[in-house]
């Protein structure tokens, strides 16, 4: 059994459902400390974070990930226990195999091999690992990044080990992510008997023209890296449950997935302008999950792309699709952030797995990327 596979199995065996790290990070410290990493555990509201650093000179490369996983779902639907790592038909099964205990193990072992082979490298390597990525993400990476900023840490590059590959390992590098801005719109009306609409005011009818305009609005045209910004309604709630009552209000939940062509302020102002134009009586509450970030083609993307091609022969494509990740927090303190990891096809699913044949190449890609960034 390879060192990477052995560590990955140990991590998968820990039922570390958000926010419980379940001692996964202790397993990482056991590998990192003997290499000379200074390891710091940062606790917050039941979340465990690890900041481990080797070296004190520039450039500083962060390797980031998470040890928490989503719940397994119905156990009887799994072909094997989700927290008993199982090899079957050339695949490693278990909750978190792809998202993201195999890539965490691969990053740690890849860094170990790099340091052992190149003890006099120029620069520093750090690990930022959290148990709060799959949850609210309020006490994990964002908290550590705030702490690092206060300390004056200046990372140059960050590789996030999120599963990114789509059809075969190495085909996709995420060099950015869209921002996520949610809103809850409450349009007011007057409740009444549905047979007497003249003495009531139906908030659903009042809201519909504004919602239609919002749905048809072109927020931007995107750019070379991003699709156009998207506005989508996720939920509409209204009514008392009776068929003959006009409701007093309607509540609409919506979300922007927005590119770097827009800002939070510009989107909020445009929504409010449309609502005001329709003379609605409304309340609007906003929630920002993350700002967009973008790493154009340059040092990090080139180092990662070369490592992938040299190891696998695959020529990766840059992409900004998908949901949010902790890269959005790291990008606030680090100028170049990219995500790369194993196949994403079974993440969060029953019988989550990764091909065993992909594990060692993944570790080698992380090691090669460090070599491309830190060896002169």
Catalytic residue among 21, 113, 132, 133: 133
Alpha-carbon distance of 349 to 212, in angstroms, equals 35
- pLDDT (tens digit, 9 = 90+) per residue, 174-218? 999 999 999 999 999 999 999 999 999 999 999 999 999 999 999
| Residue 305 scores a pLDDT above 90 | yes
Q: What is the DSSP letter of 82?
A: T
- Reported as a pLDDT band with limits 50, 70 and 90, residue 376 is confident
User: pLDDT category, 269, cuts 50, 70, 90?
Assistant: very high
Name the CATH topology of 3-177+292-374: Aminopeptidase (3.40.630)
pLDDT tens-digit series, residues 43-70: 999 999 999 999 999 999 999 999 999 9
Dihedral of CA 168/170/176/182: which sign? positive
Return d(Cα 50, Cα 257) in angstroms, integer. 30
Q: For the chain, give the percent of residues with pLDDT over 70.
A: 100
Full-model pTM: 0.90
- Does residue 310 have a known ligand-binding role? no
Domain boundaries, the chain: 3-177+292-374, 179-290
At 4-46, the pLDDT tens digits run 999 999 999 999 999 999 999 999 999 999 999 999 999 999 9
Give Dmax over CA atoms of the chain in angstroms. Answer: 83
Residue of 158, 198, 180 whose CA lies nearest to 65: 158
User: 99 labelled as ligand-binding?
Assistant: yes
pLDDT value at 1 more than 90: no
> Which residue from 144, 137, 135, 131 is spatially nearest to 62, judged by alpha carbons?
144
Burial 321-335 (b: 16+ CB within 10 A, else e): ebebbbbbbbbebbe
Answer yes or no: 76 catalytic. no
In total, the chain counts a number of residues equal to 376
**Alpha helices, DSSP H only, in the chain?**
3-12, 24-32, 102-117, 141-151, 203-216, 264-277, 299-312, 327-330, 359-374
Q: Does residue 323 register a pLDDT over 90?
A: no
- Calpha distance 314→312 (Å, rounded): 5
Q: Is the pLDDT of residue 322 over 90?
A: no
C-alpha closest to that of 177 among 330, 333, 19, 373: 330
Residue spans of alpha helices (H) in 137-260 = 141-151, 203-216
Alpha-carbon distance of 40 to 161, in angstroms, equals 20
Average pLDDT, the chain: 97
pLDDT of residue 66: 98
pLDDT tens across 150-167, in order? 999 999 999 999 999 999
133 catalytically annotated:
yes
| CA pair distance 339, 319, nearest whole angstrom | 10
Pick the CATH number of 179-290 from 3.40.50.2000, 3.30.70.360, 2.60.40.1120, 3.90.1150.10: 3.30.70.360
Q: Residues 263-272, buried b or exposed e (16+ Cβ, 10 A)?
A: eeeebbeebe
Pick the catalytic residue: 21, 68, 132, 139? 68
């Amino acid at each position: 059994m390879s060192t990477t596979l052995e560590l990955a199995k140990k991590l998968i065996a820990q039922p570390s459902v958000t926010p419980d790290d379940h001692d996964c990070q202790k397993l990482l410290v056991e590998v990192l400390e003997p290499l000379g990493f200074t390891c710091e555990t940062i606790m917050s509201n039941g979340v465990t974070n690890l900041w481990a650093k080797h070296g004190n000179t520039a450039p500083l490369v962060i390797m980031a990930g998470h040890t928490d996983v989503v719940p397994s779902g119905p156990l009887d639907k799994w072909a094997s226990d989700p927290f008993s790592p199982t090899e079957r038909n050339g695949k490693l099964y278990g909750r978190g195999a792809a998202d993201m205990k195999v890539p965490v193990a691969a990053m740690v072992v890849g860094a170990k091999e790099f340091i052992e082979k190149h003890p006099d490298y120029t620069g520093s390597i750090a690990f930022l690992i959290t148990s709060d990525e799959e949850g609210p993400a309020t006490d994990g990476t964002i908290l550590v990044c705030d702490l690092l900023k206060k300390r004056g840490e200046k990372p140059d590059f960050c590789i996030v080990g999120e599963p990114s590959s789509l059809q075969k390992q190495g085909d996709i590098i995420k060099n950015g992510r869209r921002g996520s801005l949610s809103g809850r719109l409450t349009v007011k009306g007057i409740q009444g008997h549905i047979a007497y609409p003249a003495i009531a005011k139906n908030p659903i009818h009042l809201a519909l023209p504004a919602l239609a305009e919002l749905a048809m609005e072109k927020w931007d045209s995107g750019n070379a890296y991003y699709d156009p910004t998207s506005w989508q309604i996720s939920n509409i709630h209204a009514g008392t449950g009776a068929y003959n009552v006009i409701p007093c209000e309607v509540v609409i939940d919506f979300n922007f997935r927005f590119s770097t062509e827009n800002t939070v302020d510009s989107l909020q102002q445009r929504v409010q302008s449309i609502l005001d134009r329709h003379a609605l009586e409304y309340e609007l509450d906003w929630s920002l999950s993350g700002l967009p970030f973008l790493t154009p083609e340059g040092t990090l993307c080139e180092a990662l792309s070369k490592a992938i091609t040299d190891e696998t022969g695959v020529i990766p494509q840059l992409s900004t699709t998908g949901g949010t990740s902790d890269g959005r927090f790291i990008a606030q303190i680090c100028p170049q952030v990219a995500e790369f990891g194993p196949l994403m096809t079974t993440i969060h699913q029953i019988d989550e797995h990764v091909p065993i044949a992909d594990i060692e190449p993944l570790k080698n890609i992380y090691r090669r990327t460090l070599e491309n960034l830190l060896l002169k």
